[in-house]
Amino acid sequence: MRLSILLSLTSLMSFSSIASIEITDNLSLSGFASTSISRSNNDTALIINRGIADDTCYDCDTTLGLQLDYYNEAFKASAQLVKRPQDGWGDPELEWAYVGYTVDNIEFRAGRLRLPLFLTSEYYYVSHAYTNARPPEELYNSILGITAYNGANIVWNIELFDEYQLSITPFVGFSDSNHLDVSDTLEVDIEIDKLSGINFLFTGDYYRWNFSYFNADFGQNLQFTNAIPNVPYFEIDLPDENVELYSIGAEYEFGAMSIASEFQFNNIRDSWYTSASYKMGKFIPYVVYGENHSKITNVSTFKGLTGTSKLIGVRYNVKYNLSLNVEWQQFKTYGGQRGSFVGTPTQTDANLGSIMLNYVF
């Protein structure tokens, strides 16, 4: 069913290759895609939901998204179907499907919505929209790569002195299920009971500041297959869990130079990254550094630094809507922890090389 929707929407892409397709004045179709060739030198896979190991991988980052928007005066309806890196082609995810109604500067939305936690969260799958090939793993996988929820939000946009905008988004979510294939030996089912939070985004002429608070009650079931010698299968059930997360981040542009940094603190782990890029015509070289810190919880007895990563890369804008990333990233883990790997690696370090192509229409 979902595949047929995806295929029929994809066939519409041939109508235009330059911009979103205006099907009527009120209805438009737009989309984004990314694909990569990537390889690490460690047999333990890197990055949840992407799982890049020491075999050349042609589909670890493959993403295709199609978005249908309907506008009618104050009313809006929008749906986004995404084949995320972890999804098969026949099983894309409805990342959002909501209806919205705007009164002055306030928009009310209900349905399936994107979690607005970090600067890039709401366009996480659109690599063309940010400089790096992937949003920094340390931060963006801090809640296991969950990006959407079922519920409602209010987006209140406040203009300040003709020059600044403050966007306040409180949100609530209800029951939802997420399944994660973390590694060959671990699968996790996450049942969200309820979640709530608030996001503040302050935008100036050349900068953005982002603050979020997020709280969720959830249960998780961890299924281990051949994780321990002589134990083919076992499960750990953690029915009454809670995650509470605070984040702060900022992004500044100084002419051709951009810098960004984000921190998140939650009751399981803290993480942060900082990045810098410099635009020179069609080339944008960039560097990123990130860290993961674990806390003592019912699933972890380790406190302290668990992983770091250093990234150096360059983006080339082939066309206004087509970009190429070439990246080299070094990961390290500490204290026998997994860091940015999907499981604890035997070798503690990894080098990851990636070439990624990104497109939007």
Partner 1 sequence: MFHNNKLYEPRLNAVFRVFTYCLLFIFFLGVIFVNEASAAEEFAIFTTNSDFRPLSKNKVRMLYRGKVKLLQGKKVELSDWSEDSEFRRNFYQQLLGKDTAQMNAYWARLSFSGKARPPKVIKKDSVNELLEWVAKKKLRIGYAKLDTLPDTVNILYVVKKEKQ
The least distance separating partner 1 from the CB of residue 320, rounded to whole angstroms, comes to 4
The least distance separating partner 1 from the CB of residue 249, rounded to whole angstroms, comes to 14
* Segment interacting with partner 1, rule: CB under 8 A, options 142-150, 219-227, 239-247, 275-283: 275-283
* Segment interacting with partner 1, rule: CB under 8 A, options 140-148, 234-242, 293-301, 323-331: 323-331
Q: Of 2, 5, 23, 30, which lies in the binding site for partner 1, with binding defined by CB under 8 A? A: 30
**Rule CB under 8 A: is residue 308 a binding residue for partner 1?**
no
Query: How far is the C-alpha of 81 from the C-alpha of 241, rounded, in Å?
Result: 29
Residue that is written with structure tokens 């995810």 in the block: 93
> What DSSP state is assigned to residue 13?
G
Q: Of 11, 163, 177, 240, which lies in the binding site for partner 1, with binding defined by CB under 8 A? A: 163
Q: Of 69, 187, 189, 193, which lies in the binding site for partner 1, with binding defined by CB under 8 A? A: 69
Query: How far is the C-alpha of 110 from the C-alpha of 310, rounded, in Å?
Result: 39
Query: How far is the C-alpha of 237 from the C-alpha of 223, rounded, in Å?
Result: 9
**Rule CB under 8 A: is residue 158 a binding residue for partner 1?**
no
Q: Of 114, 134, 293, 338, which lies in the binding site for partner 1, with binding defined by CB under 8 A? A: 114
Which residue, 100 or 145, has its beta carbon nearer to partner 1?
A: 100
CB 206 within 8 A of CB 246: no
Query: How far is the C-alpha of 182 from the C-alpha of 342, rounded, in Å?
Result: 6
283-287 CB contacts, 8 Å cutoff, 24+ apart: 283/314, 283/315, 283/316, 284/131, 284/314, 284/315, 284/316, 284/317, 285/312, 285/313, 285/314, 286/131, 286/132, 286/311, 286/312, 286/313, 286/314, 286/315, 287/311, 287/312, 287/313
**Rule CB under 8 A: is residue 254 a binding residue for partner 1?**
no
* Segment interacting with partner 1, rule: CB under 8 A, options 25-33, 221-229, 236-244, 295-303: 25-33
The torsion angles phi and psi of 196, rounded to 5 degrees, stand at -155, 165
The least distance separating partner 1 from the CB of residue 33, rounded to whole angstroms, comes to 12
**Rule CB under 8 A: is residue 19 a binding residue for partner 1?**
yes
CB 323 within 8 A of CB 92: no
Chain residues in the site for partner 1 (CB under 8 A): 18-20, 22, 28, 30, 32, 39-42, 54, 65, 67, 69, 71, 78, 80, 96, 98, 100, 102, 104-105, 109, 114, 122-123, 125-126, 128-130, 155, 157, 159, 162-163, 165, 203, 205, 255, 278-283, 285, 312-314, 317, 319-321, 323, 328, 330, 347, 349, 351, 353, 360
